[in-house]
A and B are shown apart, each in its own frame.
Chain A
Amino acid sequence: MSLIETRGLTLRHDGQVALRDVNFRIDPGEIVTIVGPNGSGKSSLLRALIGALKPAAGKVTRKPGLRIGYVPQKLQIDGTLPLTVRRFVNLPRRQTPDAIRAALATAGVPDLAERQMVDLSGGQFQRVLLARALLERPDLLILDEATQGLDQPGSAAFYRQIEEVRQDLGCAVLMVSHDLHVVMAASDRVLCLNGHVCCEGTPETVADAPEYRALFGTGTQGALALYRHDHDHHHHGDACDGDHDKTTTRETENA
């Protein structure tokens, strides 16, 4: 059974139709990426899947008892709200100290538990959000533009972390992203949105689809090729990649 399935889903945002007639499903263990230009309805779709946005038409079916780990696009913490990392990952449910230690370690931020959330760097903040989502023991991990505000090595490192997490937990992953070249080839399926489902399929199918090219141009074709090399650990740009790796490792250690 699918984790979540939508049939003929239509969504409104501020009175306007944001997304029309979406048939979508995600199965256990799948990695699905949603791409699309700004205002194409990506975030609206995610919000409908988690139940925060009521469908204007159509239906969303969640598997009974489905546990979702949600990493929001941004999380503004008011300066008047004191919040340590430890307290934050205990929301909305209390977790055991062992579970918290493990989740922070899995997310790559083992030593931050006592820090204030507002003092974290962008990369640390995203990893803490990830740790909190992992503590939900999710069947489905949902990430909404999770690498916004991270530099390129930072977001590459973050996606590697996601990949590892999925291998460890076996959860399905649903991502919304702008980082096409980093994200797409790691996915089993890509869904391209622009007010409706433009095209859908494996990363290669979507990258070759005329609808996709019309939205993103052919430039991304090159980026995807570059990515394929990265992913398969071929020779392309080894020195450069090695450097990036070192940079990100160092960042993680400093954190």
Chain B
Amino acid sequence: MLDDFIVRAALAGLGVALAAAPLGCFVIWRRMAYFGDATSHAALLGVALALATDLPITAGVLLVALVMALVISTLSGRNVSADALLGVMAHSALALGLVAVSLLPGQRVDLSSYLFGEILAVTRFDLAVIWGGAVAVALLLAWRWSALLAATLNPDLAQASGGNPKREQLILTLALAIMVAVAIKVVGALLIAAMLIIPAATARPFARTPETMAIWAMGLGAVAALGGLMASLEFDTPTGPSIVSIAAALFAVSSAFASALPALRRRG
């Protein structure tokens, strides 16, 4: 079964979508969208580092994404005025990554595979890495779920109950770096943040609790991943962007539903 590249692609897409969805919920609840951008754009620097030192790509990306995420979270905390700083970091990281990859001696690197992913070329080994990372992210989130929620609502409140909001922030940072490292093969550095944010935002109108929102986001992310894969095969379009396009279409439908909802309720 795994011999079929389409099956491998579908499993890779599902793995990323299912782990990115609950993590993405935290990214939007904590208003970390730019944080996700900056971390995932830094992935390209990680690719350059890995190619230059013969490290596995995943290890290079994980390392750089982790460093980037730690730097930003130290610099900004949850300060709103950090918006500009995060924007600067996100796009500088991308530009520096592009420059660094082009400077590598003696290599012709196919940049677009790192920018937009290469889901149809996923190997069995890639699949193991993706699912390993996805399961790690899911376990981290499940383990810390309530503490993360409390820290997200109000750090002082979490602290007073004996929690440690700084540690929870670190755990999210770590989960984000793992996510970026395993998702780059599937959707590419440019679109990882989209897989985090769009399914979570799409799920919002359907949910009354954080948990139901995460579950909806997982379902919607899975639909986008499989739908995008099928669409890309049907219309011969790039797969990563097709997945994100389907996710965006679902978001549009959900937003329309959300604005119609009050009127529907009134009609009873």
Residues of A within 8 A of B (CB): 47, 50-52, 68-70, 72, 75, 77-78, 80-84, 87-88, 90-94, 116, 136, 142
Contact = CB atoms under 8 A, between A and B. Distances in A.
Given A70-B160, A92-B147, A93-B146, A81 B208 contact: no
Nearest to A144: B156
B233 interface: no
Contacts of B31: 78
Interface residues of B, number: 30
B100 interface: no
A92 B208 contact: no
Contact of B201 (A75, A77, A80, A88): A80
Given A80-B201, A93-B146, A68 B161 contact: yes
A174 to B, nearest CB: 11
Interface in B75-114: none
Given A70-B161, A91-B146, A94-B146, A82 B156 contact: no
Nearest to B150: A92
B159 A82 contact: no
Interface stretch (B14-22, B50-58, B59-67, B209-217): B209-217
Contacts of B159: 50-52
A52 B204 contact: no
Given A75-B154, A80-B201, A93-B146, A136 B208 contact: no
B6 interface: no
A116 B205 CA distance: 13
Given A72-B154, A77-B153, A83-B210, 17 more contacts: A51-B160, A68-B161, A69-B160, A70-B157, A78-B30, A80-B29, A80-B204, A82-B204, A82-B208, A83-B153, A84-B208, A87-B210, A91-B146, A91-B153, A92-B149, A92-B158, A142-B160
The 3 residue pairs across chains A and B that have the minimum distance between CB atoms: A70-B160, A92-B150, A50-B160
A91 B212 CA distance: 16
A47 to B, nearest CB: 6
A92 B156 contact: no
B155 A52 contact: yes
A59 B212 CA distance: 43
Contacts of A72: 154, 156-157
Interface of B is mostly: helix
B201 to A, nearest CB: 7
Contact of B161 (A82, A87, A116, A136): A136
A75 B208 contact: no
Interface in B135-181: 146-147, 149-150, 152-161, 163, 165
Given A50-B160, A70-B160, A92-B163, A82 B153 contact: no
Given A81-B152, A82-B209, A92 B29 contact: no
Contacts of B30: 78
Contacts of B213: 81-82
B156 A116 contact: no
A225 B153 CA distance: 40
B207 interface: yes
Contact of A47 (B28, B156, B200, B204): B156
A112 to B, nearest CB: 14
Nearest to A132: B157
A75 B30 CA distance: 13
A33 B86 CA distance: 41
Contacts of B201: 80
Among A52, A91, A116, residue most surrounded by chain B Cβ atoms (within 10 Å):
A91
